[in-house]
């Protein structure tokens, strides 16, 4: 098997979407400058121009907690139940990630440790309009609340003034403090720099279009961001015995996100690959999103037949997929061999959409091979860590001469003197 990194199709999958960021960067920089200098005036203008929402006052862009409560109350009972169950499970999972301050106590009286502190304020971007996902709000807001963030604000566009009640309902049950009817790169700019209406935040999280993603990348350093996210992707590692229909359905579930999504099957079975291809065509026949799915599969999909399951695992680790399904006879035996994947789904009854919505782990995951060095969004992403040093006189005396030696060696005499003046 050749090194998969040299497969031309694999490199196309890896870099898909990157050229788009370059093309819009100039426009995004201009939006950032306008919002930074003109504040609410720029927000009102961009909201009128691109969202078709013409309001006279910045306060008209605010959705209050009371409005969220009303929106939740009119949702169908079945949807309320689904949102509440998702909230409960996601919160329980992220509560298990909580971290506490800790300290080491040395015999001489020295105390060393780490102080864990939640961020003060976080901004979550939630897409509006056609791609308005309550699940994204749950996944971005809940870990921040669990971490103890004091204030979480949300920016979400409402094209032509249309509000997504399910999104507001999700915001209500998660305890969002305020929602602003602001979208696009201008929302990112407002959360990063602050206006008289939207406060500046410490971190911006949440998905968005190419303008939002580029804006987040450009304001990184002014604020923190969750990650540089690219188009969605799934890789399924399967062998004989896997259900071709299950595999095909799971590939389509990811390919329908958008035309840049990637869905790949890796298997040592020629027969399984052939059967999956047939099932894909059957399932596409009555799928409302078939056009998007077919464009995605034609451009960035793949049925890869390798010579062995071990080589399949090697390919998985080279791709480092956002979502990985392992549909083998013993997926737990394969799990220790996987080094790079955002979320790993084991067995036929752990399909990727369960992770998107309700089981608990976060669906904000590294894409584009970044699972080699990045992790899913979690409670820790909303915490800061400060080192704590309290030396006793005895420890200071024992270490003093060594520190002076190191400081003098590095040519920093004032460092050494700060110790020498202490008797």
Catalytic sites, residue numbers: 322-323
What separation in angstroms does the CA of 349 have from each of 200, 247, 253, 317, 341? 43, 11, 15, 23, 19
Question: What crossing angle do the helices spanning 77-95 and 165-174 adopt, rounded to 10°?
Answer: 40
Burial 130-156 (b: 16+ CB within 10 A, else e): eebbbbbbbbbbbbbbbbebebbbbbb
Residue-wise DSSP of 88-113: HHHHHHHHTT----EEEE-TTS-EEE
Q: How many angstroms separate the CA atoms of 218 and 220, rounded?
A: 6
What's the chain's length in residues?
423
Burial 16-29 (b: 16+ CB within 10 A, else e): bbeebbeebbeebe
Q: Which two tokens stand for residue 362?
A: 């976060």
Residue 383 contacts residue 377 (beta carbons within 8 Å): no
Nearest Cα to 248, choosing from 238, 261, 258, 260?
A: 238
What separation in angstroms does the CA of 95 have from each of 149, 318, 374? 13, 32, 20
What is the Cα gyration radius of the chain?
Answer: 25
Question: In sequence order, what are the beta bridge partners of 384?
Answer: 117
Phi, psi of 67 (to 5 degrees): -65, -35
Residue 377 neighbours by CB under 8 Å, 6+ apart:
139, 140, 143, 205, 226, 227, 362, 364, 365
Nearest Cα to 244, choosing from 270, 284, 274, 276?
A: 276
Instruction: Count the neighbouring beta carbons within 10 Å of the beta carbon of residue 384.
Output: 14
């Amino acid at each position: 098997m050749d090194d998969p990194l040299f497969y031309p199709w694999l490199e196309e999958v890896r870099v898909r979407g990157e050229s788009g960021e370059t093309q819009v960067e100039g426009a995004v920089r201009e939006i950032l400058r306008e919002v930074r200098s003109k504040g609410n005036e720029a927000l009102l203008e961009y909201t009128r121009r691109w969202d078709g929402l013409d309001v006279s006052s910045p306060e008209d862009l605010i959705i209050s907690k009371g409005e969220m409560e009303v929106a939740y109350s009119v949702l169908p009972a079945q949807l309320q139940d689904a949102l509440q169950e998702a909230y409960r499970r996601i919160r329980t999972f992220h509560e298990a990630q909580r971290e506490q301050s800790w300290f080491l106590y040395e015999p001489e009286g020295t105390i060393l440790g780490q102080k864990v502190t939640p961020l003060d304020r976080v901004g979550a971007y939630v897409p509006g309009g056609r791609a308005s996902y309550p699940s994204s709000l749950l996944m971005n807001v809940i870990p921040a609340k669990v971490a103890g963030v004091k204030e979480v604000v949300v920016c979400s566009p409402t094209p032509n003034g249309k509000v997504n009640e399910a999104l507001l309902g999700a915001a209500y049950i998660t305890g969002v403090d305020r929602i602003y009817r602001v979208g696009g790169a201008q929302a990112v700019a407002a959360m990063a720099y602050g206006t008289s209406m939207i406060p500046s935040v410490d971190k911006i999280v949440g998905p968005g279009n190419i303008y939002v993603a580029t804006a987040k990348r450009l304001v990184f350093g002014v604020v923190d961001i969750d990650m540089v996210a690219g188009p969605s992707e799934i890789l399924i590692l399967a062998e004989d015995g896997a259900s071709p229909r299950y595999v095909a359905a799971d590939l389509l579930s990811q390919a329908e996100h958008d035309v840049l999504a990637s869905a790949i099957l890796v298997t040592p079975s020629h027969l399984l690959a052939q059967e999956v291809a047939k099932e894909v065509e059957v399932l596409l026949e009555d799928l409302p999103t078939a056009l998007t799915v077919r464009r995605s599969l034609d451009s960035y999909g793949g049925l890869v037949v390798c010579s062995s399951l071990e080589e399949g695992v090697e390919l998985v680790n080279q791709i480092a997929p956002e979502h990985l399904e392992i549909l083998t006879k013993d997926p737990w035996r394969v799990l220790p061999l996987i080094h790079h994947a955002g979320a790993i789904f084991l067995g036929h009854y752990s399909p990727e959409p369960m992770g998107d919505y309700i089981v608990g782990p976060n669906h904000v995951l590294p894409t584009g091979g970044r699972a080699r060095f990045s992790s899913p969004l979690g409670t820790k992403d909303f915490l800061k860590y400060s080192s704590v040093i309290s030396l006793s006189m005895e420890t200071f005396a024992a270490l003093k001469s060594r520190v002076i030696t190191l400081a003098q060696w590095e040519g920093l005499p004032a460092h050494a003197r700060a110790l020498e003046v202490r008797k």
